[in-house]
Amino acid sequence: MPSPDAARTPHALLLGLRQSGLIAPGRHMLVAVSGGPDSTALLVALQEEGHSVVAAHYDHALQPESGRAAEHVRALCGRLGIDVLVERRERAMPRGSMQAGARALRYEFLERARAQAGADVVAVAHTADDVVEGVVLHLLRGCGLAGLRGMPDRRGVFVRPLLNVWRREVEDYLRLRGVESLQDPANSNTAFARVRVRRDVLPALERDRPGIVSRFRAVAARAAALQQSVAGVASSSLDGALTTRAVVAGAPRPVAAELMRQLYARAGGDQPALSRSHLAAMLRLAEPGRGGRGVDLPGGLRLRIVGESMQVIAAREKDQRPAARLEVRACAGCDDESAAHLKPGLELHVGYRRPGLRMRPVGGRGTRKLQDIFVDARVPREDRDAWPLVFVGESLVFVPGIAVAEDMAARKGEPSLHVTTSGIPAKVESLNSLPGDPT
């Protein structure tokens, strides 16, 4: 516990914590604690400031002695009188980058722990040094405005109240309070780009240009303010979960990219998840071209183009087809434009798209591929395999809502078969009401 003298000291870490504006009085907080200096200092400082906290520790089980960190956190919380939730990974790591997979598992755990603890927010202990390291990494890879700001101070229920506190101030705070922390071996592993930036790149830059690290932090702060303005402009340009190609194509590049991020987030996409290549592919769809195109995105989502509209939806699995029902009755020749009026006596059945399907549509010129019919009707690619089709034998005679075969259509006003189907993909039934689509 801090001594009376230490508690009266307006330490830089406590000042940074207060000035962040992220920790409102009376809020119940979950604190992510790895056992390292930053998270340990955050936990101690929040308790010192009189906040209600619960600690949460996730053991990735990636190192032989990872359980030692969990025990250290339990012991620390025991001395502080703070409840702690600990979980050890038992499932396989996600495929791909180990760092990205570990981060995803940790944040999934923190969401569960927050619900279990009944906490309002989750406090994460990133510091000013982490911001600068992130900015340099983004610059080395090539980045836009969003990358230049480093990490945001808030994303959903996660807050980072130490982003204006330097690592040296963290170490000084713990020394004055007499609190010991652990050092993560991964923080000295030069196989990780962030470690190389921390140990080699930034010290070299600081030696050559003293004060440059602080200037990087100042640039990140200005970029964050600009990005917030860009996000506001992008948000005002969205129509719910939709935008149009014209809006995206006419926006400055940073606003257009933010529009794509917000579309993705509103569809349930995790943040951050979109890479530069994802954003570039999404923005290319705003360029002139036919509808029915799309881009697959992380998290089982897909950006699609319907006419002039851009929308992010859940990608449809190939075997996810709605139950289709064929309804056929005798008709004297009505004006129902939602139905096909076919010649009497045909034996009809429902099927789905397969290679080689063609038909000669009423009012068309010659035989056309089903693929071209779908494209001209602006049916999104991900919905085409689920679109019910009506056949006579092996011949395609009716694409519901789109086209009827010339040689099977009854003449207007003559006795016919009145044919309708159910099972058209729900997201497509209202295509004509989307912004930019013809009625």
Whether residue 167 sits in one domain with residue 46: yes
What are the CA-CA distances from residue 253 to residues 52, 221, 259, 295 (Å)?
Answer: 43, 20, 10, 19
Instruction: Give every strand in the sheet of 294-297, ordered side by side.
Output: 242-244, 309-314, 301-306, 294-297
Whether residue 248 sits in one domain with residue 379: no
Whether residue 290 sits in one domain with residue 166: no
CATH number at residue 87: 3.40.50.620
pLDDT in tens, the chain (439 residues): 555 554 465 899 999 999 999 988 888 999 999 999 999 999 999 999 999 999 999 999 888 778 899 999 999 999 999 999 999 999 888 877 788 888 889 999 999 999 999 999 999 999 999 999 999 998 888 877 778 888 889 988 999 999 999 999 999 999 999 999 998 777 778 888 899 999 999 999 999 999 999 999 999 999 999 988 999 999 988 887 788 888 998 899 889 999 999 999 888 887 767 888 888 888 988 887 665 567 888 888 888 887 788 888 887 554 556 667 888 899 887 878 778 899 998 989 888 888 889 999 988 778 899 988 888 887 777 678 788 899 998 899 999 988 999 999 988 878 889 998 887 764 443 333 333 332 2
Q: In total, how many domains does the chain have?
A: 3
| Domain extent for 9 | 4-125+160-188
Q: Is residue 380 part of a domain?
A: yes
Whether residue 173 sits in one domain with residue 86: yes
Whether residue 172 sits in one domain with residue 32: yes
- In whole angstroms, how large is the CA radius of gyration of the chain? 29
Q: Which residue's entry shows tokens 């000295």? A: 188
Q: Is residue 194 part of a domain?
A: no
| Helices of type H across 238-326 | 245-250, 253-266, 276-284
Whether residue 368 sits in one domain with residue 283: no
Q: How far is the C-alpha of 147 from the C-alpha of 166, rounded, in Å?
A: 20
Whether residue 404 sits in one domain with residue 336: yes
Whether residue 337 sits in one domain with residue 273: no
Angle at 320 between CA 318 and CA 326, to 5 degrees: 115
Whether residue 281 sits in one domain with residue 336: no
Whether residue 305 sits in one domain with residue 264: yes
Phi, psi at 412, each rounded to 5°: -60, 130
Q: How far is the C-alpha of 388 from the C-alpha of 401, rounded, in Å?
A: 10
Q: Is residue 248 part of a domain?
A: yes
Helices 167-177/37-48 angle, 10° precision = 60
**pTM as predicted:** 0.68
Phi, psi at 186, each rounded to 5°: -65, -25
Q: How far is the C-alpha of 51 from the C-alpha of 43, rounded, in Å?
A: 10
Whether residue 355 sits in one domain with residue 266: no
- In this structure, what token pair is assigned to residue 17? 């914590």
Show Cβ contacts of residue 332 under 8 Å, excluding neighbours closer than 6 positions: 415
CATH number at residue 243: 3.30.465.60
Q: Which long-range contacts (CB under 8 A, 24 or more apart) does 315-319 make?
A: 315/382, 316/382, 316/383, 316/385, 316/386, 316/425, 318/385
Whether residue 256 sits in one domain with residue 380: no
